A and B are shown apart, each in its own frame.
Chain A
């Protein structure tokens, strides 16, 4: 046994990061400054009449599948909300422009296509409902 100090440091830092990561995972953050404006042409599908959820997914991502199932099931009976699913790898231009760093990332757009918030990681049902309700 040489020293346990490096091991302790790694485990403490990883635990702190893990807790921080879990806390912010899937929560919708409001973006005020330099909000992006998206349209049907960029997204390849029409916007919702009131709200659009734009989900970015990638291949090596297990929570992307759960998020996709949750969002499409939730929005199925909402007439004024659209759920668009985008493969990040095939749309790197858009990913760069919107500065998307990890998957799943879900943007919430108002009816003009302006980004009003985004959730990084798998969002929870209540968070999604609250975010949709908050868009005028």
Chain B
């Protein structure tokens, strides 16, 4: 986890929530149509968010160019690392889903997309913090 050593980048909290909403729509389409190409597209977005940061995805670009100029109110910022962690978790689920599609298992595909969709939905609607719930569990399992 080398990114912890970097100084935190502060981003508008509404950006990741907007991106999560688009993610919900894309993954819902992937799940309903069983379309691996739609999931592959989302996997690329997750990969950018996980590696470069959530503020560099195409969804964040739409937020910055189209949504943000129309928003009013005080800008609340957050550390970019919690949403970046969530993007990595999303990427892992997307990879598992693609693997499922590659071996022809619609069950593996459906479960993986279902979990990614649930996480994005919780983030979008309930402001759920995946890093809060999962990071410590991952650490505890790894150090056991």
Determine if chain A interacts with chain B: yes
**Chain A residues proximal to chain B, CB less than 8 Å:** 1-4, 6-7, 9-11, 13-15, 17-18, 21-22, 58-65, 88-89, 92, 95-96, 100-104, 121
Number of cross-chain contacts by CB at 8 Å: 101
* B→A interface (CB under 8 Å): 1, 4, 13, 28, 31-34, 78-79, 81-82, 84-86, 110, 114, 117-118, 121-122, 125-126, 128-133, 135-137, 139-140, 143
With both chains docked as a complex, state the minimum distance between the C-beta of A22 and any C-beta of chain B, in angstroms. 6
By beta carbon, the residue of chain A nearest B32 is: A7
Q: How far is the CA of A89 from the CA of B131 in the complex (A)?
A: 13
User: Could you say which residues of chain A place their CB within 8 Å of the CB of B128?
Assistant: 18, 21
Please indicate the chain B residues that have their CB under 8 angstroms from the CB of A62 in the complex.
13, 78-79, 82, 129, 131-132
28 contacts between A and B (CB under 8 A): A4-B32, A6-B31, A6-B32, A6-B110, A6-B114, A7-B31, A10-B31, A10-B118, A10-B121, A14-B121, A14-B122, A15-B121, A15-B125, A18-B121, A21-B122, A58-B136, A59-B1, A59-B82, A60-B135, A61-B82, A61-B129, A89-B136, A89-B139, A92-B140, A95-B136, A96-B140, A101-B133, A102-B133
